[in-house]
């Protein structure tokens, strides 16, 4: 199972929006609703911010939103804030025995 493809980095000024793509195949992202996004600050464990493509766990600001089209999922961070500077990973259920796959990760920089 190959890792899902994400851009290495994206950046934006405070208040702007950034979108991160996550490209897989019909065997993972395109085939299932179980697409998630995680935020990870340096030295910390990942935090779930989007699940099942576009749902937000309790406590996650509505500045974070998710979507999917075909084999590509996207995370949009609106109204960028300094604390949003972190690494972001997508993941997808992939079926079979090799059940899960993560994205390559994207570093978000707030200028």
Partner 1 sequence: EVQLLESGGGLVQPGGSLRLSCAASGFTFSRYAMGWVRQTPGEGLEWVSGISGGGDSTYYADSVKGRFTISRDNPKNTLYLEMNSLRAEDTAVYYCAKDLLYTPSITFDHWGQGTLVTVSS
Query: What residue ranges bind partner 1 (CB under 8 A)?
Result: 1, 3, 34, 36, 38, 45-48, 51-52, 57, 89, 91-94, 97-105
19 burial (CB, 10 Å; 0-12 / 13-18 / 19+) is middle
Q: Of the two residues 18 and 50, which places its CB atom closer to partner 1 in the complex? A: 50
Instruction: For the CB of residue 36, give the shortest distance to partner 1 in the complex, in Å.
Output: 5
Q: Nearest Cα to 93, choosing from 57, 52, 60, 54?
A: 52
Q: What is the CA radius of gyration of the chain?
A: 13
Q: Nearest Cα to 46, choosing from 36, 33, 32, 59?
A: 36
Q: Of the two residues 77 and 94, which places its CB atom closer to partner 1 in the complex? A: 94
Instruction: For the CB of residue 57, give the shortest distance to partner 1 in the complex, in Å.
Output: 6
Q: Of the two residues 33 and 79, which places its CB atom closer to partner 1 in the complex? A: 33
Instruction: For the CB of residue 109, give the shortest distance to partner 1 in the complex, in Å.
Output: 17
């Amino acid at each position: 199972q190959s890792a899902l493809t994400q851009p290495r980095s994206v950046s934006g000024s405070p208040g702007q929006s950034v979108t991160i793509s996550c490209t897989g195949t019909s065997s993972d992202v395109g085939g299932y609703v179980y697409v998630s996004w995680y935020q990870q600050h340096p030295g910390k464990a990942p935090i779930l911010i989007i699940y099942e493509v576009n749902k937000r766990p309790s406590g996650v600001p509505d500045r974070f939103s998710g979507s999917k089209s075909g084999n590509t999922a996207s995370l949009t961070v609106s109204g960028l804030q300094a604390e949003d500077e972190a690494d972001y990973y997508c993941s997808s259920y992939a079926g079979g025995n090799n059940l899960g796959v993560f994205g390559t990760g994207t570093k978000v920089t707030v200028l």
